[in-house]
Amino acid sequence: MKAVSLLAFAAISLVLSTASAGEVKAASKAAVGQSAAALDAVAQTVMMSANASIEAGSAVAAIPVWMTAKVMDKMGQGSEQAGVWDAATGDPAQRPALDKEIVKPDIKPGSAAPKKDPSPADAMQ
Amino acid sequence: MRKPASLFLFFVLLTCTLDAGSRQSSKQAIDRYGAEYVQQLTDEVNAQMDARQVNVALIARCGRLRADLPEGVDFTHVGIAVFEAVVREDGKVGYTYSVYNLYQGVDGDMGKSHLVQDFTFDLCSGAVEPEIAVIVPSDALQKRILEVIRSPAYAALHNPKYNLIANPFNDQFDNCVTHTLKILVAAIYNTDDQERIYEDINSYFKPEEINLSVAERIGVNFMSGVSDDDQSSRHVKTATFGSLKRFLDEYKLTKDYFVVRVEPPKPASKK
């Protein structure tokens, strides 16, 4: 009896999740102001790059530099990149500063916390 | 009051199909607190990691209200943050924290997972509890983790068959925590030999143990993304962010641990 009721709950949950997941994804993408085309462009870049086993999935159209490089044969080789500082091989004293803007999403004004209803007393006035 | 571990199934049923916090589409914080708040939390997490000169860290969010989680489970998703150069669509290059994740769900199949790179903002977007936990491994281990991520071993150690309560002692299933555990062990022993990695996990890792009743054990097998097929005893053994921390602490591989909390805005009244 318990297992049956759990199964029914599971089925209901599955239906709910199928509907809500897409809505949440669509709403959040709109909230951060990213176009689907821009995201697709980045995903395409990654697919065309060497490391297709890791997908680019951010709401921001950017990818790590190393993911644009060639496939490495063994552990450690992937850390050797020309032109950029790398934590695996770089001098800690030469560590670059954090770029606070490089992957900042375009947040539209007014996307602050959802508004709540006024108090029951205010609502009745 | 937190729920006892024996009620874990109800947590599983309640969360796994709705959102266990380990899905790419997890954006509850944006819906709950707004995108501007998520950016504030992101900035604070990045700033605190940068202030400590962190290059690689295990970073976790809680994608459910903590009161709904059983004892022993404080976070629902873990990824690996890496300070590295990124290139934007317009060609600009800068240094920030990327996050490497195993996310549940591929083309609607919640029994599968995929490896996804995104950024701190994306991780914070799924945080229902307004905080992010950060484990900073030792400097030497940070470098080795990075070497694993940038090698074929990172993907080779991924089993796409997803299980929310995957047994970390065998490779029947994976989830974000068990995959991270394998990356850690691969880095520690500088190996991509999966057999050796599982031997080491069995020798040194202490899992979270969950008690399930017979009915609960039957129930999990009707759920996509949850299974006890990989369990050999009544006590379900799984890996959590907390058990990863205990593992690193026990072997003195933790350099730092901190939780970044930013109070969310109070909802404004509707006009």
Residues A101-118 have a mean pLDDT of 73
Question: pLDDT tens-digit profile of B176-202?
Answer: 999 999 999 999 999 999 999 999 999
Q: Give the per-residue SS3 of chain B.
A: CCECHHHHHHHHHHHCCCCCCCECCCCHHHHHHCHHHHHHHHHHHHHHHHHCCCCEEEEEECCCCHHHCECCCCCCEEEEEEEEEEEECCCCEEEEEEEEEEEEEECCEEEEEEEEEEEHHHHHHCCCCCEEEEEEECHHHHHHHHHHHCCHHHHHCCCCEECCCCCCCCCCCECHHHHHHHHHHHHHCCCCCHHHHHHHHHHHCCCEEEECCHHHHHHHCCCCCCCCCCCCCCEEEECCHHHHHHHHHHCCCEEEEEEEECCCCCCCECC
> pLDDT tens digits, residue range B7-45?
455 554 444 444 455 666 678 899 899 999 999 999 999
Tens digit of each residue's pLDDT (9 = 90 or more) over B126-180: 999 999 999 999 999 999 999 999 899 999 999 999 998 899 999 999 999 999 9
Nearest to B116 among A31, A57, A61 (CB): A57
- Give the distance from residue B170's alpha carbon to the nearest chain A alpha carbon, in angstroms: 22
Q: What is the pLDDT of residues B209-267, one digit of tens each?
A: 877 777 777 777 777 777 777 887 777 888 999 999 999 999 999 999 999 999 998 76
Hey, are the CB atoms on B215 and A81 less than 8 Å from each other? no
Mark yes or no for CB contact A13/B13 under 8 Å.
yes
Q: What angle do CA B118, B246, B1 make, to 5 degrees?
A: 85
pLDDT, chain A, mean: 59
Closest-CA residue of chain A to B145: A88
Which pair of tokens denotes residue A90? 């770089």
- The answer to whether B79 and B101 are in contact (CB under 8 A) is yes
Chain A residue whose CA is closest to B144: A88
Nearest CA in chain A to B123: A58
Does residue A121 sit at the B interface (CB-CB below 8 Å)?
A: no
Instruction: Name chain A contacts of B186, Cβ cutoff 8 Å.
Output: 75
**Torsions phi, psi of B174, nearest 5?**
-140, 155
Question: Are the beta carbons of B81 and B183 closer than 8 angstroms?
Answer: no
ipTM: 0.84
* A39 reaches B (C-beta below 8 A): no
Task: Report the residue from B9, B18, B88 with minimal CB separation from A102.
Answer: B88
Using the beta-carbon criterion (under 8 Å), do A58 and B25 form an inter-chain contact?
A: no
- A86 pLDDT exceeds 60? yes
* Least confident range of A35-49, A92-106, B60-74: A35-49
Residues A9-20 have pLDDT tens digits of 233 233 223 223
